[in-house]
Amino acid sequence: MQDYSFMTTEEIFLLQDALKKNKKQIMKFILIGLTLILIAAFLPQFFLKRRLSEEEIEQSVFSYKNAWFWTWLLSFVLVLVFALIKVTDVRYFTIKKDLTALQKGQIQVPLETIYQGNNDMQTSFIVKQEGIRKRKRLFYWMRGKLEDFRSGEEVKIVYGRYSRVILAIDKV
């Protein structure tokens, strides 16, 4: 059974900083999506106007007046943005939940796997929890590259309850 306690002011500021970084990442993905919409909407029109008449363009699949074109385009970009968020381990909503609940957990376990992500802006740790159900859990260090830890080392991790963002990590 996991015990949870309330966060200190410093830990709240660490989570708020992680939230800002995640918000910037989401905004970047939305801008990528909007750019793709602009390119996908105007580039086909440019080529169609050079080769077809106005009547043929309006009947084309790439016409602005075609509802399926907009449905396909917006669905594609929406899926792309969410895929980018999922692939890069953006923890925005769970960090917001942590900032509402203000609960932290503490665990002492051996590290199983360590890897760098988001252009070395984040270090992720996979640990194997012993107990009734043996399971692997992923924890996130959101403050850059962390190189002092190796697989197999016993560590004590203080983390946000819902987001599993690491607030403090120490070797035991």
Count structural domains, the chain. Answer: 1
Instruction: Tally Cβ neighbours within 10 Å of residue 86.
Output: 9
The token pair at 91 is 């923890």
Range of the domain at 64: 1-172
pLDDT for the residue 41: 74
Low-confidence ranges of the chain (pLDDT < 70): 1-4, 57-65, 87-90, 118-120, 131-133
pTM score: 0.64
pLDDT for the residue 131: 65
Instruction: Tally Cβ neighbours within 10 Å of residue 139.
Output: 22
Return the amino acid letter for 51.
R
In whole angstroms, give the CA distance from residue 161 to residue 104: 5
In whole angstroms, give the CA distance from residue 25 to residue 14: 17
Residue 9, burial from CB neighbour count under 10 angstroms (0-12, 13-18, 19+): exposed
pLDDT for the residue 1: 43
pLDDT for the residue 120: 67
24's torsion region: left (phi>0), alpha (psi -120 to 50) or beta?
Answer: alpha
